[in-house]
Amino acid sequence: MFIIAEVGQAHEGSLGMAFSYIDALSEAGVNAAKFQVHIAEAESSIHEPFRVKFSLQDATRFDYWKRMEFTREEWQMLKERCDKKGVEFLASPFSNAAVDLLEKVGVKRYKIGSGEVNNFLLLEKIAQTGKPVILSSGMSSFEDLDEAVTFLKQRKVNYSILQCTTAYPTSPENYGLNVIEELKTRYGVPIGYSDHSARIETCIAAAALEAEILEFHAIFDRSSFGPDASSSLEINEIKQLVQAVRNIQTSFGHPVNKNDNSGFSDLKNIFEKSLALNKDLPRGHILKFEDLESKKPRGHGIDAKDFGKVIGQELARKCEKWEFLTSDMIK
């Protein structure tokens, strides 16, 4: 299971804050810390509208992207911090210029955001690097994905796909967990889940459905400033999620054989029961269902599962209440 925690824009343009996220996510046990590389001049314009009007300090969306930028040297520092902390530095580029920057910084793979799946100019640029990509399908129909997959296959790009719903935060009605299996069947590549629900159970459910990649937004505090804060997981939640997912992963690696219960022999003898009598009964009494009780442990009388075999049988001697019923007590 490859677990990606997306810092995105939660660093608010602060290099120190970005370092803090890397450190915290490393401690939480994720595999990768993901950033977004926005180069305002290459990607946006003053005409771009706000997805969520959250900022009073940025006059335009272009200004916001400008404020979020790091220099190449700063990105290199973030990559080195990830290396030091044992997490993969992962990033989503949103322009060809961002790909050039990331190639200089050094990345193993590229994450394609939902809005870029059919940006074939960007996909061509990434394909030329020869590196694998992870496609997020939040805004894509199967027709859109088919086109992108065909494009990547023609260029022999190794790819995987994430089921995603582009809604912030995503409500349970829109999780689309059923799509995980549909994607597996349709494309036959590693399939994962990208979450915006701000709930740990969503990714846990995806893990139980054998998603191979999980992605979610990270935030120190969900009440923080920013467009993704309300749809993010806090660090303590991420720790819980990672542990839960690792436990599920362990379980898949150790299938249980229900045809072999030999390991439970001692417990079966403790928890299973033997037949007993629930009243004093005279010699010659014909046993009825109403005369019987089951008592722990197993092995001190006739097994409780065999009660039907004793009904209608005659007692060979006088028996006391709560006495275990054994075969020698029956004629």
Return the minimum-mean-pLDDT range out of 27-31, 115-119, 149-153.
115-119
pLDDT at position 66 is 87
Distances (CA, A) of 3 to 22, 109, 192, 243, 249: 14, 14, 10, 11, 12
Dump pLDDT digits (tens) for 39-58. 888 987 777 776 666 667 77
> 88: which strand partners?
32
Separation CA 173–CA 117 (nearest Å): 24
Question: Cis ω on the peptide bond leading into residue 169 (within 30° of 0)?
Answer: yes
Q: What is the mean pLDDT of the chain?
A: 94
Distances (CA, A) of 277 to 27, 304, 311, 314: 60, 12, 12, 13
Dump pLDDT digits (tens) for 182-226. 999 999 999 999 999 999 999 999 999 999 999 999 999 998 877
pLDDT at position 222 is 94
> 312: which strand partners?
none
Q: Long-range contacts made by residues 216-224, C-beta under 8 angstroms, separation at least 24?
A: 216/4, 216/5, 216/6, 216/241, 217/5, 217/6, 217/8, 217/10, 218/5, 218/6, 218/7, 218/10, 218/21, 218/24, 218/25, 219/10, 220/10, 220/20, 220/21, 220/24, 222/198, 224/10
Question: Which domains occur in the chain, in start order?
Answer: 2-252 (3.20.20.70), 262-329 (3.90.1210.10)
Distances (CA, A) of 150 to 24, 37, 117, 156, 180: 38, 26, 12, 10, 19
Distances (CA, A) of 164 to 42, 90, 202: 26, 18, 11
Express the helix, strand and coil content of the chain in percent, nearest 5 each: 40, 20, 40
Both structure tokens of 239:
């720790």
Dump pLDDT digits (tens) for 294-324. 999 999 999 999 999 999 999 999 999 999 9
pLDDT at position 166 is 81
Eight-state DSSP code of residue 328: G
pLDDT at position 52 is 63
Dump pLDDT digits (tens) for 2-40. 999 999 989 989 999 999 999 999 999 999 999 999 988
> Left, alpha or beta for 106 (phi > 0: left; psi -120 to 50: alpha)?
left
**Nearest by Cα to 301 from 292, 289, 313:** 292
Task: Decide if pLDDT at 155 tops 90.
Answer: yes
pTM over 0.75, yes/no: yes
Dump pLDDT digits (tens) for 240-268. 999 999 999 999 999 999 999 888 888 88
Angle at 244 between CA 242 and CA 249, to 5 degrees: 90
Distances (CA, A) of 29 to 22, 42, 216: 11, 34, 14
Separation CA 110–CA 133 (nearest Å): 5
